[in-house]
Amino acid sequence: MSDPLPLAGRVALVTGASRGIGYAAALGLAQAGAHVIATARTQGGLVELDDAITAATGQGATLVPMDITDGDAIDKLGGAIFERWGRLDILVSNAGELGLLTPIGHLDPKIWDRAVAVNMTATYRLIRSVDPLLRKADAGRAIFLTSGAASLPRAFWGAYAATKAGMEALVRVYADEVEHTPVRCTLLSPGPMRTRMRMTAFPGEDPADLTPPEAIMPLVVELARADSEPPILQNFVDWRERSAD
């Protein structure tokens, strides 16, 4: 008899799910048995994800095309999840905005505002919307993708570094607030991966030298398990090295 799927019967929301790490996370959660609610701005990418999930599991995903900066849409999504499932077991907050690598003094305010909206404000709105749903789960798991730039900022990364640092602060505050509940939060730092954002930030890199996003799937599933006690900060590279020992 095969082992039961570790996330069978659980409901997962993944943002930024149309490509890269979000796509891989959504597919990995579905393969582990979860029903995936996938959001992204790109309808075509969501359809491709749904096709992949259906091919792998025989079950489709719930697709929600939306801009993560639309706070009203986030609130409506939370209400719709409550009406259909009454809870949310897993959140993977992956949508992110690099902004522009440029000196702070040259940074266009519109680019700054977009980075703040995607990386910080949307995180607040997501937490605000799904917190009651995570608390209704028997073991809510909230995973937020972060970056080493948040703790080790460097020249020209002002918009991304500052807003990711702000996002991390929000998540740590929320983790403290839910400490005495079954909800657990994790800041997941993937390290260098073969994503569009990485290619934009480092156009001279050879994509073949980078880890594919699919490699993070087992870690996301591990962090999402109800029987896990996930850490507040998890670095993928460190996890992979420990797993290889």
Which positions are catalytic?
Answer: 160
- Name the one residue in this structure whose structure tokens are 């799904």: 130
User: Which amino acid, one-letter code, is at 143?
Assistant: I
* Residue 160 CA from chain centroid, whole number: 16
b/e map of 22-58 (b: 16 or more CB within 10 Å)? bbbbbbbbbbbbbbbbbbbeeeebbeebbebbeeebe
- The answer to whether the beta carbons of residues 211 and 226 sit under 8 Å apart is no
Contacts of 85 (CB under 8 A, 6+ apart): 11
What is the three-state SS of 192-230?
CECCHHHHHHCCCCCHHHCECHHHHHHHHHHHHCCCCCC
Q: Which sign does the torsion angle of CA 198, 99, 16, 41 carry?
A: negative
Q: How far apart are CA 116 and CA 54, in angstroms?
A: 35
